[in-house]
């Protein structure tokens, strides 16, 4: 394995670093997929909780909301309990906003790191290419008239390898970060929607 890195020349440290970044990005993508897989689910438990709240059964409404174990369900369960305890107004909305922001921050955690990997990987690849080209032309200069096309082509091939490696790391990281960020934003929208529906029910004149 290390002999193969030696054949790459000056690009070997860059390739090794990109390999580490690739493993890290793939691990983060898998972790976030598992974490965010269910954030858009359990719609039926929220609907059931809202129906129970509308009929005045606060205990059942809270229990149904808590059974979902999603960000939207957790915030909804707290809001139902708070309303049942007589809390309302700006103070309650501020607390719900804070809890919603905390849930969104948790859903968005590590996505910025994926975006950073997607941004710096092509730059690292380009750096490796530039260093490789410098080495190739230095060898060409030292060889003087004895240099041939195969020597130069071999150096250029080694240099361009780091650019290809950088792109191979960056593309999955960029795609993963974009899709995961969209799912986290969808989870935040579901929190806002659940609370909006609850507040509309709570503000009904009959309640």
Is 122 contained in some domain? yes
b/e per residue 49-76 (b: at least 16 CB within 10 A)? bbebbbeeebebbbbbbbebebbbbbbb
Classify residue 121: in a domain, yes or no: yes
Residue 147: is its pLDDT beyond 80?
no
86-138 pLDDT, tens digit each = 888 888 999 999 999 999 999 999 999 999 999 999 999 998 888 888 877 77
Q: Which domain holds residue 22?
A: 10-202
Q: Is residue 36 part of a domain?
A: yes
Sequence-ordered strand ranges (E) for 4-149: none
Query: Would you say residue 51 lies in a domain?
Result: yes
DSSP-derived secondary structure letter, 207: -
End-to-end CA distance of the chain, in Å?
71
User: Is residue 129 in some structural domain?
Assistant: yes
DSSP output for 114-137: HHHHHHHHHHHHHHHHHHHHHHHH
Residue 92 domain-assigned (yes or no): yes
Q: What is the number of structural domains in the chain?
A: 1
- Asked whether residue 35 is assigned to any structural domain, the reply reads yes
- Please report which confidence band the pLDDT of residue 146 belongs to, taking 50, 70 and 90 as the band edges: low
Q: For residue 20, is pLDDT > 90?
A: yes
The answer to whether residue 207 sits within a structural domain is no
Residues 6+ apart with CB under 8 A from 12: 5, 6
């Amino acid at each position: 394995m290390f002999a193969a890195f030696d054949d790459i020349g000056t690009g070997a440290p860059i390739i090794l670093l990109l390999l580490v970044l690739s493993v890290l990005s793939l691990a983060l993508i898998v972790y976030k997929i598992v974490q965010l897989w269910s954030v858009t689910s359990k719609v039926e438990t929220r609907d059931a909780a809202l129906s129970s709240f509308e009929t005045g059964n606060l205990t059942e409404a809270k229990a149904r909301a808590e059974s979902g174990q999603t960000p939207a369900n957790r915030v909804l369960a707290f809001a139902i309990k708070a309303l049942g305890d007589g809390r309302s107004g700006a103070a309650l909305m501020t607390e719900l906003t804070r809890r919603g922001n905390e849930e969104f921050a948790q859903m968005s955690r590590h996505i910025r790191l994926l975006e950073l990997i997607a941004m710096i990987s092509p730059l690292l690849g380009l750096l490796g290419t530039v260093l490789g080209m410098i080495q190739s032309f230095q060898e060409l200069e030292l060889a003087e008239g004895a240099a041939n096309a195969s020597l130069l082509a071999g150096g250029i091939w080694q240099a361009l390898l780091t650019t290809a490696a950088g792109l191979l790391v960056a593309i999955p990281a960029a795609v993963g970060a974009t899709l995961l960020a969209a799912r986290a934003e969808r989870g935040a929208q579901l929190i806002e929607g659940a609370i909006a529906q609850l507040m509309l029910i709570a503000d009904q004149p009959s309640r």
